[in-house]
Structures are given as C-alpha cells and as structure tokens.
Amino acid sequence: MSRPPLAREKVLDAFEAILIDEGERGATMDATARAAGVSKGGLLYHFGSKEALESGLIERLNVLVDEDIAAIEAAEEGPIAYFLRSSAMENDPLDRVLIAVARLAQGGDAASGDALRAVRDRWSDAIRPHVADDAAHDLVMLVSDGLYYNNALSGGGIAHPVPKGREMDALIALVERATRR
C-alpha cells in the first residue's frame, strides 16, 4: 500500500490536533488549513468538505487499528498482556486518533460513534479466542477500559491511576490466571 501524500497527512494531523485540543467546534476548515500550513485550496484539494476530513480521520483510525490487531495477534508476551499494556495511553498515533474521533462522536457525528463501536468490537473479537468464556472476555475488556479511562484522568491529580512496571505485570498475571482457557 502506498503512503498518502505528505500534505494530506499534515492536514489530518492538524485536524486531529485541533479536535484534541479544542474540540469539534474549533476544528473548522479554516483553522485546519492554518494549523497545517496549507492554503484553503490545498486543504480542499485533499478534503472537499469537513465530512471528508472526518472520514479521513476515521480511515486513519481503521488503518491504525488494523496494525494494532496484527500486533495483538503477534505479541510475544501474548495477546492479553499486549492488549492490557497498550490500553494505557502513551500519546501514540492510535491514542491520538481515538481521542480525536471520540471528540467528533461527542459532537454528534454518528459515523464517528459507529467507528468507535466497531473498533471496540474488533478488539473484542481479537481477544475472545484467548479466554475461557464470556465472563473472562468481559474481564479483559473491562480492565482494558479501566486502564484507558484512568489514564485519561491522570491529569486531574489522581496519584498513579495506571499501574506501571511490576504493578502492571502483576495485574496482567492476575487477569491471565482468571481468564485461562
């Protein structure tokens, strides 16, 4: 697969950053063009409308989730351990696009809400073969959700909301024991 043009990626990066920092209302076409350092015509060449920009961001999300699912399946430490470790946000490209698409969903964009539900379903499907039953599956998914949520709260003065190092290893070991086939 060929890489998208650099200018197109700069525009998506700018749109994503504005969504994260200012929310959906601040993510106008003009603001995106300014932040990307392109003319409005340059933006419109790649994305003819705000809806096209939103679709581009969802496309980016899907590409990164494809890569994440492949990493889950190939993880040397095992899919559950990888999935739980990666649930703690690191401000990586997948985390950033998830937040940006969530901002769109919060603003009422139905396609973004659908995309986020589909992503969670894909992660769920990737984990299901590696656990004993539905309750074990729910445990992994809920621990993942909790790690992600607590990490999102970390700026609010919560001390050590997400385990790290040996504490994360111990949590993963506990979940893996509880979910074995």
pLDDT digits (tens, 9 = 90+) for 61-99: 999 999 999 999 999 999 999 999 999 888 899 999 999
Is 156's pLDDT higher than 60?
Answer: no
Confidence of residue 152 (pLDDT cuts 50, 70, 90): confident
Q: What is the pLDDT of residue 4?
A: 52
Long-range pairs for 38-41: beta carbons < 8 A, 24 or more residues apart: 38/7, 38/10, 38/11
Smallest CA-to-CA distance from 30 within 17, 19, 44 is with: 44
What letter does residue 161 receive in the DSSP assignment? -
Is 157's pLDDT higher than 70?
Answer: no
Q: What is the pLDDT of residue 181?
A: 73
Q: Are 56 and 16 in contact (CB under 8 A)?
A: no
- Exposure of 3 by Cβ count < 10 A (0-12 exposed, 13-18 middle, 19+ buried)? exposed
Residue type, position 89, single letter: M
> What is the C-alpha to C-alpha distance for residues 86 and 107, in angstroms, rounded to an integer?
26
Q: Are 18 and 32 in contact (CB under 8 A)?
A: yes
Inter-axis angle of helices 50-74 and 93-106, nearest 10: 140
| Termini Cα distance of the chain | 37
Q: What is the phi/psi pair of residue 2, to 5°?
A: -80, 155
Coil, strand or helix at 60: helix
Residue written as token pair 């499907």: 125
Q: pLDDT, tens digit, for every residue of 10-52?
A: 999 999 999 999 999 999 999 999 999 999 998 999 999 999 9
> What is the C-alpha to C-alpha distance for residues 27 and 49, in angstroms, rounded to an integer?
12
pTM (2 d.p.): 0.89
